[in-house]
C-alpha cells in the first residue's frame, strides 16, 4: 500500500513538472510574436509601422479566441473523419470547453497548440504589408484560425489521412511555416503589389524598409523562440519507469534536436550570405537575417530524425534558395512579397520536408527505404499546398470582389498608420510628403546593391530628401 501511495505521489510530481515545462515552452513560443513584430516592422516603410504592429497584436488577440471556440475542435473532427478514428462532433467541443476531472492537461495542451496556430497566422501579415485593409487581414485571420489551419493539423497531427500515410513533420516546418508562407504568397498575389513597386516595362523598384535594427532584432528574438518551437517539444523532462522510479525523459532526442536546430540556423545564414555575395558582390544584411530563419524553417520538419550533416546541408540549401526564390517571385511572378515570407517560410519549409529521405537516420541506418520516406512527404506537401492556396485564394478573392481587400490609392500614399489608425509612428521626423515619400530615410532592400535617394522623386526608391547613396 505504501509503495502504491508513493508511486501515486511520484506520478503527480512527474505530471506537474511536465505540464509546467509545456507551459514554459508555450510562453517561449508566444514570445516569438515580438520577433515577428520587430522583423516585419523593420521591413516596412516608416509610415506603415503602426499598422504592421497592430496586425501582429490582433493576430494573436482575435486568432487565439477563434482557435479556442472553433479551431481546436475542427482539428479533432477532421483528424477523426479523415483518419478512420472515432470522433464526436459534440465531444470535440465539450472536451475543450469543459474537460473532465481526469483531463488535467486539456487546457494546457490547447494553449500549446494555439501558439503554433498563431505563428502560422502571423506569417501572412508580412506578405501583404503596406496595402492590405486591416478588416481583410483580420477577417482572413479568423478563417485561418477557425478552419484553414485546423484542417491542416487535422490531416496531420490530429491523426488524419496524411498521418496514416506516414507524412512526417516534427514541429511544423510544413504544417505551420510552409502553410503560412504559401498563404502569404497567395494573398499578396491577389491583393496586388504596392504602388510603384513595378514599372510599366516590368522593371522592379526597390522599396526599402525603415529599420535594419528592428529587422535583425526581430530575427534574433525569433531564433531564441525557435528553441522552444523545436527543442522544447522534443521530450518531457521526466518519466516514470515500469518499476515506479522517476527517470529523465529522452534527452538524447533533446540533444539531437538542439544540435540540428543550431546547425540549421547557422548554415542558413551562411548559405544566404554566400549566394547574395555571388549575385551582388555584397553581403546583404537582410538576406543573412532571413537566411538564418530559412535555415531554421528548413530543419523544423525533421529536426529529431536526421543525421547532423544533413542539418548543415538542409540549412545551407534553405538559406541559398532564399535570394533565388525571392528574385523569382519578384521579377518573374511580379508578386510583391514585402517581408519575403514565401522564400523564408514557404519554399524553405517545403525543401526541408522533401529533403527528409536524404538525411533521415532511418534511411542511413537501413531501417527504411528511400521511397517509403519520400512518397508520404511529397503527397503531404502537395495536399497542404493545394488546400492552403485554394482556401486563401477564395477568402481574399471574395474580399477583393467586394472591394475590401486593399486600401485606397490616397490612403496608401498617406500611409496606413495615419489612414487606418490615425497615428504617426515617428512624428518628430515629419509626415510623408505628397508623393508618399518619407524624409526619415531607410536602407533595407532585399536584393542587395545600392539605394540612390532622389529629392522630389515619386519613385519607390525615394527614401530621403538628401542626395545620398547607401551601399548595403
Residues 95 and 75: beta-carbon distance below 8 Å = no
**The pLDDT value given to residue 4:** 52
pLDDT digits (tens, 9 = 90+) for 253-284: 899 999 999 999 999 999 999 999 999 999 99
Give percent of the chain with pLDDT exceeding 70: 89
Distance CA 335, CA 298 (A): 23
Q: Which three cell numbers stand for residue 13?
A: 510530481
pLDDT at 159 over 50: yes
Our measurement of the distance from residue 52's CA atom to the centroid of its chain's CA atoms, rounded to an integer in Å, reads: 15
Q: Mean pLDDT over residues 422-432, rounded?
A: 79
> What average pLDDT does the structure give for the chain?
88
* 149 compared with 201, residue with greater pLDDT: 149
Instruction: Give the model's pLDDT for residue 86.
Output: 80
Q: Which residue shows C-alpha cell 470547453?
A: 97
Q: Please report the DSSP string for 282-318 in residue order.
A: S--HHHHHHHHHHHHHHHHTTTTSB-HHHHHHHHHHH
pLDDT of residue 239: 80
Task: Count Cβ atoms below 10 Å from residue 97 Cβ, excluding itself.
Answer: 12
Most confident of 88-102, 223-237, 382-396: 382-396
Sign of dihedral through CA atoms 358, 359, 360, 366? Answer: positive
> Residue 471, SS3?
strand
CA nearest neighbour of 341 among 120, 154, 150? 120
pLDDT band at 98 (very low <50, low <70, confident <90, very high): confident
pLDDT of residue 471: 33
Q: Report the predicted TM-score, pTM, of the whole model to 2 decimal places.
A: 0.88
Q: Look at residue 16 in the predicted model and tell me its pLDDT.
A: 87
CB 301 within 8 Å of CB 169: yes
Cell 548595403 belongs to 472
Residue 101 sits at φ, ψ, to 5 deg, of -65, -30
Q: What is the mean predicted confidence (pLDDT) over 400-413?
A: 96
Predicted confidence (pLDDT) at residue 448 exceeds the cutoff of 90: no
Per-residue pLDDT at 449: 40
Could you tell me the domains of the chain?
Answer: 20-235+249-409 (1.10.3430.10)
Rg (CA), the chain: 23
Tell me how far apart the alpha carbons of residues 419 and 400 are, in angstroms, rounded to a whole number: 19
Amino acid at each position: 500500500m505504501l509503495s502504491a501511495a508513493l508511486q501515486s505521489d511520484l506520478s503527480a510530481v512527474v505530471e506537474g513538472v511536465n505540464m509546467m515545462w509545456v507551459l514554459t515552452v508555450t510562453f517561449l513560443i508566444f514570445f516569438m510574436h515580438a520577433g515577428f513584430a520587430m522583423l516585419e516592422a523593420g521591413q516596412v516603410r516608416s509610415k506603415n509601422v503602426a499598422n504592421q504592429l497592430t496586425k501582429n497584436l490582433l493576430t494573436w488577440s482575435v486568432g487565439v479566441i477563434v482557435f479556442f471556440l472553433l479551431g481546436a475542435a475542427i482539428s479533432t473532427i477532421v483528424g477523426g473523419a479523415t483518419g478512420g478514428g472515432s470522433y464526436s462532433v459534440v465531444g470535440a467541443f465539450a472536451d475543450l470547453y469543459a474537460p473532465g476531472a481526469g483531463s488535467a492537461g486539456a487546457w494546457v495542451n490547447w494553449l500549446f497548440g494555439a501558439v503554433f496556430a498563431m505563428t502560422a497566422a502571423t506569417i501572412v501579415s508580412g506578405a501583404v504589408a503596406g496595402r492590405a485593409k486591416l478588416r481583410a487581414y483580420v477577417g482572413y485571420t479568423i478563417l485561418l484560425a477557425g478552419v484553414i489551419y485546423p484542417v491542416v493539423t487535422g490531416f496531420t497531427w490530429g491523426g488524419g489521412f496524411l498521418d496514416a500515410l506516414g507524412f512526417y513533420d516534427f514541429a511544423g516546418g510544413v504544417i505551420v511555416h510552409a502553410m503560412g508562407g504559401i498563404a502569404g504568397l497567395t494573398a499578396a498575389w491577389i491583393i496586388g503589389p504596392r504602388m510603384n513597386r513595378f514599372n510599366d516595362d516590368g522593371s522592379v523598384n526597390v522599396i526599402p524598409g525603415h529599420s535594419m535594427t528592428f529587422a535583425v532584432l526581430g530575427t534574433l528574438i525569433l531564433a531564441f523562440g525557435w528553441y522552444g518551437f523545436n527543442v522544447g517539444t522534443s521530450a518531457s523532462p521526466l518519466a516514470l519507469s515500469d518499476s515506479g522510479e522517476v527517470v529523465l525523459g529522452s534527452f538524447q532526442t533533446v540533444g539531437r534536436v538542439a544540435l540540428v536546430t543550431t546547425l540549421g540556423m547557422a548554415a542558413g545564414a551562411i548559405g544566404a550570405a554566400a549566394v547574395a555575395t555571388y549575385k551582388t558582390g555584397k553581403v546583404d544584411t537582410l538576406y543573412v537575417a532571413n537566411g538564418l530563419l530559412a535555415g531554421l524553417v528548413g530543419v523544423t520538419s525533421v529536426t529529431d530524425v536526421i543525421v547532423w550533416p544533413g542539418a548543415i546541408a538542409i540549412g545551407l540549401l534553405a538559406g541559398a534558395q532564399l535570394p533565388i526564390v525571392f528574385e523569382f517571385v519578384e521579377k518573374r511572378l511580379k508578386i510583391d512579397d514585402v517581408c519575403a515570407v514565401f522564400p523564408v517560410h514557404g519554399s524553405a519549409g517545403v525543401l526541408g520536408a522533401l529533403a527528409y529521405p536524404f538525411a533521415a537516420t532511418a534511411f542511413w541506418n537501413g531501417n527504411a527505404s528511400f521511397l517509403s520516406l519520400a512518397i508520404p512527404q511529397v503527397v503531404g506537401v502537395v495536399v497542404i499546398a493545394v488546400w492552403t492556396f485554394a482556401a486563401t485564394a477564395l477568402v481574399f478573392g471574395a474580399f477583393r470582389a467586394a472591394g475590401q481587400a486593399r486600401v485606397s490609392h490616397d490612403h496608401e500614399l498617406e500611409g496606413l498608420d495615419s489612414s487606418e489608425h490615425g497615428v504617426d509612428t515617428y512624428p518628430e521626423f515629419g509626415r510623408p510628403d505628397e508623393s508618399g515619400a518619407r524624409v526619415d530615410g531607410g536602407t533595407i532592400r532585399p536584393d542587395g546593391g545600392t539605394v540612390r535617394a532622389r529629392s522630389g522623386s515619386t519613385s519607390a526608391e525615394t527614401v530621403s530628401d538628401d542626395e545620398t547613396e547607401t551601399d548595403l
